[in-house]
Amino acid sequence: MQRKAYRDCQNAEPHMDERQLVRECLKDKPEAQRQLYEHYAKNMLGLCYRYTKSLKDAEDVLQEGFVKVFLGLKQYKFEGELGAWIRRIMVNTALNYLKRNRKYRQEMFFTEQPLHPVADDNPVVNLQAKEIADLVRQLPPGYQTIFNLHAVEGYTHVEIGELLGISDGTSRSQYARARAILIGWMEEMETENKKKNYAGQ
């Protein structure tokens, strides 16, 4: 399966020997563990924040995820990038967090609804990436999760269905609805921005 490139957080720095670092971590050397954590924590926190509604929840997911990373390092076979392996663990940790946390679980419902096609054309907007990420975070948890898994992480709808225990058709429908909501919000924000700019001239 092809994943989207995340070179800023998946690739190790040229001077960082991943194999040696992993070996040192497996020896429970604190300095090596600290180096690995500091190298990936910032970007992985951003990933966790995309799936949650607060920074505190994202930090909880991050800490839990890194516990799993360090416990599971012996299973890492150096097949692919270390950052990509860590990222998969963080995504799965975030999904498990949503499923077992009542405030998210109560809204993580998926209904078998007919698919409503959404135009592939992106709206002409000048929103910054942070503004778009903030809009995604305002979606109901179910929509937010599927949108992130498909649009950001690059999972197929079949894979999403397997991860969440739903059909691929439901994943497609939920993604289409999430995208339609986001497009509506983005267009509203762009209209408001144009009005403000016009009024300020």
Helices (H) and strands (E) in the chain, counts: 10, 0
Q: What local confidence, expressed as pLDDT, does residue 7 receive?
A: 38
The secondary structure element, H or E, covering residue 57 is helix 55-72
Residue 172 pLDDT grade (very low, low, confident, very high; cuts 50, 70, 90)? very high
Residue 178 pLDDT grade (very low, low, confident, very high; cuts 50, 70, 90)? very high
Q: Say if residues 195 and 181 touch (Cβ distance below 8 Å).
A: no
Q: What local confidence, expressed as pLDDT, does residue 6 receive?
A: 38
DSSP 138: T
Domain ranges of the chain: 7-105, 129-200
CATH number given to 129-200:
1.10.10.10
Q: Say if residues 45 and 31 touch (Cβ distance below 8 Å).
A: no
Residue 113 pLDDT grade (very low, low, confident, very high; cuts 50, 70, 90)? low
Residue 22 pLDDT grade (very low, low, confident, very high; cuts 50, 70, 90)? very high
Report, at the CATH architecture level, how domain 7-105 is classified: Orthogonal Bundle (1.10)
Q: What local confidence, expressed as pLDDT, does residue 187 receive?
A: 87
Average pLDDT over residues 109-114: 56
> Is the pLDDT assigned to residue 1 strictly greater than 50?
no
> Is the pLDDT assigned to residue 119 strictly greater than 80?
no
Whether the domain at 7-105 and the domain at 129-200 fall into the same CATH topology: no
Q: What local confidence, expressed as pLDDT, does residue 169 receive?
A: 93
SS (HEC) of 166-177: CCHHHHHHHHHH
